Chains A and B, each alone.
Chain A
Amino acid sequence: MKYNSVFDIIGPVMIGPSSSHTAGAARIGKAARNLLGSEPSFAKIHLYESFAKTYKGHGTDFALAGGLLGFETDDPRMSKALEIAKERGLSIEFIEDTSAVSHPNTARLIIGNEENQIELVGISIGGGKVEITELNGFELRLSGNHPAILVTHNDRFGAIASVATILSKHKINIGHMEVNRKDLGKEALMVIETDQNVGEDVMDELNKAQNIIQVSMIAS
């Protein structure tokens, strides 16, 4: 089910004016920041359909910026996020994109800094709830209902087993898992939803495992 908590319906507490265009946008921005794993210095954001048509009125622009800065939906600094981004050295470009997309509230973010860059697609499905549907060209379905680990790895035998072994050693249960690859033998992505948040020690261990390229985490 898309919604699994009463607080998805009665909540979130947020700065107005729109749950999907403001609070949801902030959450997409925050998810992007978490996936990058550090403060971005640039962001190129494509907005589609309802997001593209109404982002100025709904504050979608400052909300995305606020999320990229790590703000929660009820952060009182939200409406000043674009100015704060400038002060913190984050340059943001918004593009009203007319390409066809499957959800009316869609944003594509290309964000990064000197060390790293990621590209992802987020959709805001209503009431402040969001899903990440694409990361670095991989299709996925990340609901944010549970903590998740995202592992970019070489498409070789044993890569999945080594990750599963580390998680099992730390007694972390996998609730949902999917593996997606672009081409046989190239880069692949594991999306692992876990029942509990995963500690830094586990993340370090995963990073060092064979055939693992990059590991990131979304806490819940």
Chain B
Amino acid sequence: MFRTVAELVEIAENENILISEVMIRQEMDVKERTREDIFADMERNLQVMEKAIEDSLKGVKSVTGLTGGDAVKIQEYMKEKTPLSGNLLLDAVSKAMGTNEVNAAMGTICATPTAGSAGVVPGTLFAVKNQLNPTREQMIRYLFTAGAFGFVVANNAFISGAAGGCQAEVGSAGAMASAAIVEMAGGTPQQSAEAFAMTLKNMLGLVCDPVAGLVEVPCVKRNAGGSALAIVSADMALAGVTSRIPCDEVIGAMYRIGKTMPSALRETGEGGLADTPTGRLLKEKIFGSLA
């Protein structure tokens, strides 16, 4: 079983297989399941992601009214204007936000690695898909590659905002997506690791400060930022840019930063954006005297 990104990359290089394949073989081995079974389960997850994006593009609204509708706005803007950040990037942003809008509206999503960060992996997947034209199998492999990197983070650091802040959630999700994009685009396992490191480095220190304690503000927009960064880092790695600090050490830094983060900034809804005049006002409006 691989414990670190270095081990994961080493196995892939030594056996001359993809990162996704290392993850698939480990899952078969640990869970004593067949490849067909595992693929079928991941296909089901992929369908849930696809459905959530479809639903979001019809327009959704959360119970509180704080979020919803932005994914549609961006899609319309893309049709009418030429986006400065490019169509692919903005498509990913829109689909990531859309997935999280569905989540906030208590719709069905697939946690990747968490619900609060569930937009980044599918959002990027369904955007790069239009340019890379992957097979269905390659799309499923995208999720195994993302999962392999997330697996290392979960076992060596954390993936929940309550434990390590948003850097552990959207930070991990964005980094996982970067690594998966690189593999789908034909990059090497090491380039996946570089892309992962570069995204996570840019997310270090990000706190979890949800307004009124809800997975809405700023979560939906952080999914937008996470997916944009994922694509940029993937391009950097594919161009040959490497991270000066090795991937596993970046994960270690994320862990130590999370450990020193005060509780007010770890999903308690007490600090950061939650504790701004508007944040407090929104909380009062939503929960009234109950809060």
Contacts and interface: CB of A to CB of B under 8 A. Distances in A.
Nearest to A1: B155
**Which size class do A's interface residues fall under?**
35 or more
Contacts of A2: 154-155
Interface stretch (A15-23, A85-93, A108-116, A198-206): A15-23
Given A9-B154, A125-B163, A127-B154, A58 B215 contact: yes
Contacts, number: 182
B42 interface: yes
Interface residues of B, number: 63
A54 interface: yes
Contact of A4 (B30, B107, B143, B148): B30
Interface string A27-69: 0000000000000000000000110011011110000000000
Interface string A1-15: 111111111111111
A128 interface: yes
A128 B267 contact: no
Nearest to A75: B108
B98 interface: no
Contacts of B108: 13-16, 74, 76
B116 interface: yes
A58 B103 contact: no
B105 interface: yes
Contacts of A104: 162-163, 263, 266-268
Interface string B267-280: 11110000000000
B68 interface: no
Contacts of B114: 18-20, 126-128
A171 B146 CA distance: 38
Interface in A143-188: none
A3 B106 contact: no
B268 A16 contact: no
A57 B161 CA distance: 15
Interface of A: 1-23, 49-50, 53-54, 56-59, 74, 76, 78-79, 103-105, 124-129
Interface of B: 1, 3, 23, 26-27, 30-31, 38, 41-42, 44-45, 48, 102-116, 118, 121, 143-144, 146-148, 150-151, 154-155, 158-163, 168, 176, 210, 212-216, 263, 266-270, 286-287, 290-291
10 contacts: A3-B155, A10-B121, A13-B44, A18-B215, A19-B111, A50-B268, A54-B268, A57-B213, A78-B106, A104-B266
